């Protein structure tokens, strides 16, 4: 129903039809943009990339089997990129929102997008063209979306119980296809193994690590064979001392130092590490329905919204004709 406040009150200056229409459209658009959608499907979509660092991605050695996205600078030395031929957004092995520095290694099977300046030397091999101009994706919007997803996951009610004892972490699930597991990140400092019970084979494990920092030391082979997402909604510092088969969502975290290989999709705020990201073709987090997950989505108004808009515009026409005849 049209808000009566749109019509001018008696004795007040009349607004033009165009002003009334603009205000009405703005109200409809705002209502649509703020709609909360019960979006059960969890997907970490980086356009096909293996890793996205919201700010910088820097490494003095190592490799990423897939492609790299960074909102600002990418600086690589003695580094291999996209050996798995898993390009992002069509044909990009590297997407740097600002500058790209490459002083050794190879960028394979794809183009390199640079939003700022390229600093290259003869020790580095680019097996595709350097592209400038418009970026292949809105990385700021992607960062916002992933941050919202991390917060929404952290707000989920846990389905599994957890306990730390005997230098290990015990996780008892509910034999569901999706398990939500909350772990104190400080437990990682003194834990070297995991014990699982009542977890369905191949289940999705959403592990929310609680705390502002975490150091991964070992025992993560227990997660092999599951669809795993390690979510760090609040962590600002991460250090990986051992590899694992899992995906990482850490929108506030800076990754430094470390060793090993992460087989999965990685999202961080800043990366300054030589840890290998071995996300081969077909790797990464498998999209799944997550009961209770709610994400705020900005979308084109639905059909009923446009119907309301058109009805409102029709009423505006009636008002305009009455004024003209008066």
Q: State residue 269's pLDDT score.
A: 98
Residues 6+ apart with CB under 8 A from 321: none
Evaluate whether residue 54 is within a structural domain: yes
Q: State residue 10's pLDDT score.
A: 44
Evaluate whether residue 17 is within a structural domain: no
Hunting for tokens 């972490």 — which residue is that? 169
> Which H, E and C letters describe the chain, residue by residue?
CCCHHHCCCCCCCCCCHHHHHHHHHHHHHHHHHCCEECCCEECCCCCCCCEEECCCEEECCEEECCCEEECCCEEECCEEECCCCCCECCCEEEEECCCEEECCEEECCCEEEECCCEEECCCEEECCCEECCCCCCCHHHHHHHHHHHHHHHHCCCCCCEEEEECCEEEEECCCCCEEEEEEEHHHHHHCCEEEEECCCCCCEEEEEEECCEEEECCCHHHHCCCEEEEECCCCCEEEECCCECCEEEEEEEEEECCCCEECCCEEEEEEECCCEECCCCCCCCCCEECCCCCEECCCCCCHHHHHHHHHHHHHHHHHHHHHHHC
Evaluate whether residue 303 is within a structural domain: no
* Residues of the chain predicted below pLDDT 50: 1-37, 39, 281, 298-313, 315-316, 318-320
Q: State residue 217's pLDDT score.
A: 83
Range of the domain at 220: 42-289
What value, to the nearest 5°, has the Cα angle with vertex 223 and ends 51 and 175? 120
Q: Which of 215, 228, 140 is nearest to 180 (CA)?
A: 228
Evaluate whether residue 221 is within a structural domain: yes
Task: Tell me the per-residue pLDDT of 30-57, one tens digit each, with 9 for 90 and over.
Answer: 333 333 445 489 999 999 999 999 999 9
Evaluate whether residue 2 is within a structural domain: no
Evaluate whether residue 147 is within a structural domain: yes
Q: State residue 100's pLDDT score.
A: 97
Q: pTM higher than 0.85, yes or no?
A: no
| Structural domain total, the chain | 1
Q: Which of 87, 47, 42 is nearest to 67 (CA)?
A: 87
Torsion from C-alpha of 238, 243, 249, 254, nearest 10 degrees:
30
Q: State residue 124's pLDDT score.
A: 82
Q: Which of 35, 141, 120 is nearest to 77 (CA)?
A: 120
> Which H, E and C letters describe 45-114, residue by residue?
CCCCCCEEECCCEEECCEEECCCEEECCCEEECCEEECCCCCCECCCEEEEECCCEEECCEEECCCEEEE
Determine contact, residues 56/272, Cβ cutoff 8 Å: yes
Q: State residue 275's pLDDT score.
A: 94
Spatial distance between the Cα atoms of 76 and 125, rounded to a whole number of angstroms: 12
Hunting for tokens 């705002």 — which residue is that? 30
Task: Tell me the per-residue pLDDT of 184-235, one tens digit each, with 9 for 90 and over.
Answer: 999 998 899 999 999 999 999 999 999 999 998 888 999 999 999 999 999 9
Q: State residue 81's pLDDT score.
A: 96
Spatial distance between the Cα atoms of 220 and 226, rounded to a whole number of angstroms: 11
Evaluate whether residue 9 is within a structural domain: no
Evaluate whether residue 10 is within a structural domain: no
């Amino acid at each position: 129903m049209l808000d009566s406040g749109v019509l001018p009150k008696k004795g007040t200056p009349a607004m033009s039809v165009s002003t009334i229409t603009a205000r009405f459209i703005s109200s409809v658009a705002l209502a649509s943009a703020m709609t909360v959608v019960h979006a059960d499907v969890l997907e970490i979509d980086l356009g096909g990339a293996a890793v996205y660092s919201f700010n910088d991605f820097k490494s003095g050695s190592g490799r990423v089997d897939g492609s790299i996205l960074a909102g600002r600078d990418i600086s690589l030395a003695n580094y291999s990129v996209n050996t798995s031929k898993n390009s992002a957004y069509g044909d990009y092995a590297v997407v740097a929102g600002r500058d790209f520095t490459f002083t050794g290694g190879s960028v394979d099977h794809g183009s390199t997008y640079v939003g700022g300046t390229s600093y290259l030397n003869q020790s580095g091999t680019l097996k595709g063209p350097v592209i400038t101009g418009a970026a292949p994706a809105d990385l700021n919007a992607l960062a916002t979306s992933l941050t919202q997803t991390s917060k929404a996951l952290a707000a989920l009610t846990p389905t599994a119980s957890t306990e730390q004892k005997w230098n290990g972490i015990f996780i008892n699930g509910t034999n569901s296809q999706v398990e939500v597991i909350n772990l104190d990140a400080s437990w990682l400092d003194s834990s070297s193994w995991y014990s699982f019970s009542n977890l369905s084979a191949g289940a999705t494990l959403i592990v929310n690590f609680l705390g502002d920092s975490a150091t991964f030391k070992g025992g993560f082979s227990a997660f092999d064979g599951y669809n795993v997402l390690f979510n760090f909604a609040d962590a600002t510092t991460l250090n990986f001392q051992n590899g694992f088969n899992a995906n990482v969502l850490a929108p506030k975290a800076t990754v430094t130092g470390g060793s090993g290989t992460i087989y999965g999709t990685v999202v961080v705020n800043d990366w300054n590490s030589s840890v290998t990201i071995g996300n081969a073709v077909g790797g990464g987090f498998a999209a799944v329905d997550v009961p209770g997950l709610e994400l705020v989505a900005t979308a084109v108004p639905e059909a009923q919204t446009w119907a309301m808009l058109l009805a409102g515009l029709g009423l505006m026409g009636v008002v305009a004709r009455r004024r003209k005849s008066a």
